[in-house]
């Protein structure tokens, strides 16, 4: 199985801050990396697919980069609605599809 | 636009089975590759399995092999996930989510179904 490791596990930041979350795969996954945002009691929402493509309707302050084993999700200027948990997910291997453990973004 | 409506919360005893449904609208089920993901309370997302259009079969995470069955009723555009031999560790929210076979991501999700396993 391809293991996905996110860092940090939790992060405190303020409105307006620039935030970066990292996801590392246990083997190369090319660009088969997606990012999701999840708010309490809600289903995950796709933000970024194929490592760097912004899903339709997602604000441009979200961006993704990376390939191979190392990936980042960046929020350029945090907004109040961005405080949530973020997950990376690899789809290079679909047996199994694996997610990172999540990064909880909290208000400082 | 795909819409997914899942069945309501369930409470089951250890050893029982649960069957969660996911009603599709906006598309037909045959146009989608439905997968299931679960999330235990306070924990992360865990993929359980789903339909692989490349070989036309349903694939399951090894962890759930022998305990999970995913089926579809194309006449009603409803997908089902049945999990048997329930234990307390199966207490979780279960989501259906179509896997986009061109982009390799989950862009639509059901609202989730809470399954509680308790004696």
Q: Taking an 8 Å Cβ-Cβ cutoff, which residues of chain A contact chain B?
A: 32, 34, 36, 38, 43-46, 49-50, 55, 87, 89, 91, 94-102
Chain A neighbors of B107, CB-CB under 8 A: 46, 49, 55
Average pLDDT over residues B92-116: 94
pLDDT at B103 over 80: no
Q: Coil, strand, or helix at residue B63?
A: helix
Confidence of residue B102 (pLDDT cuts 50, 70, 90): confident
Q: Coil, strand, or helix at residue B22?
A: strand
Structure tokens at B36: 């299931």
Residue A51 Cα, gap to closest chain B Cα (Å): 11
Average pLDDT over residues B57-84: 96
Spatial contact of A71 and A24, defined as CB atoms under 8 Å apart: yes
CB–CB contact B106 A46 (8 Å)? yes
Residue A78 Cα, gap to closest chain B Cα (Å): 23
Structure tokens at B48: 């359980």
Q: Coil, strand, or helix at residue A52?
A: coil
The CA–CA distances, whole Å, from A101 to A4, A54, B37, B85 equal 8, 22, 14, 26
Q: Residue B45's pLDDT is what?
A: 98
Interchain contact B5–A (C-beta under 8 A): no
Q: Residue A16's pLDDT is what?
A: 96
Sheet holding A70-75, edge to edge: A4-7, A19-25, A70-75, A62-67
Q: Mutation test of the interface with chain A: which of B42, B45, B108, choosing the one with the most A Cβ atoms within 10 A?
A: B45
Q: Which residue of A has its CA nearest to B109?
A: A43
Confidence of residue B79 (pLDDT cuts 50, 70, 90): very high
Q: What does the alpha-carbon distance between residue B19 and residue B69 come to, in Å, rounded to a whole number?
A: 9
Confidence of residue B56 (pLDDT cuts 50, 70, 90): confident
Q: What does the alpha-carbon distance between residue A89 and residue B44 come to, in Å, rounded to a whole number?
A: 11
Q: Residue B101's pLDDT is what?
A: 80
pLDDT in tens, A50-90: 999 999 999 999 999 999 999 999 999 999 999 999 999 99
pLDDT at B54 over 80: yes
Q: Residue B107's pLDDT is what?
A: 94
Q: Residue B10's pLDDT is what?
A: 98
The interface residues of chain B toward chain A in range 17-56, judged by CB-CB distance below 8 A, are 35, 44-47, 52
Residue by residue, DSSP assigns B83-118 as E-S--GGG-EEEEEEEEETTTTEE------EEEEE-
């Amino acid at each position: 199985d391809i293991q996905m490791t996110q860092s940090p596990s939790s992060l405190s930041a303020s409105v307006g801050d620039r935030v970066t979350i990292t996801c590392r795969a246990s083997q190369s996954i090319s660009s088969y990396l997606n990012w999701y945002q999840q708010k309490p009691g809600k289903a995950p929402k796709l933000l970024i697919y194929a490592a760097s493509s912004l899903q339709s309707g997602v604000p441009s302050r979200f961006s993704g980069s990376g390939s191979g084993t190392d990936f980042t999700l960046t929020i350029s200027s945090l907004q109040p609605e961005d405080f949530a948990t973020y997950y990376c997910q690899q789809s290079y291997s679909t047996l199994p599809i694996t997610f990172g453990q999540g990064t909880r973004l909290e208000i400082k | 636009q795909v819409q997914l409506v899942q069945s309501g919360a369930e409470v089951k005893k250890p050893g029982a089975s649960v069957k969660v449904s996911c009603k599709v609208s906006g598309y037909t089920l045959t146009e989608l590759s439905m997968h299931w993901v679960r999330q235990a309370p306070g924990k992360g997302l865990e993929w359980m399995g789903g339909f692989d259009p490349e070989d036309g079969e349903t694939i399951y995470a090894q962890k759930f092999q022998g305990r999970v069955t995913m089926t579809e009723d194309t006449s009603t555009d409803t997908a089902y996930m049945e999990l048997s031999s329930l234990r307390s560790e199966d207490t979780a929210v279960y989501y259906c989510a179509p896997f986009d076979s061109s982009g390799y991501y989950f862009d639509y999700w059901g609202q989730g179904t809470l399954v509680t396993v308790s004696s």
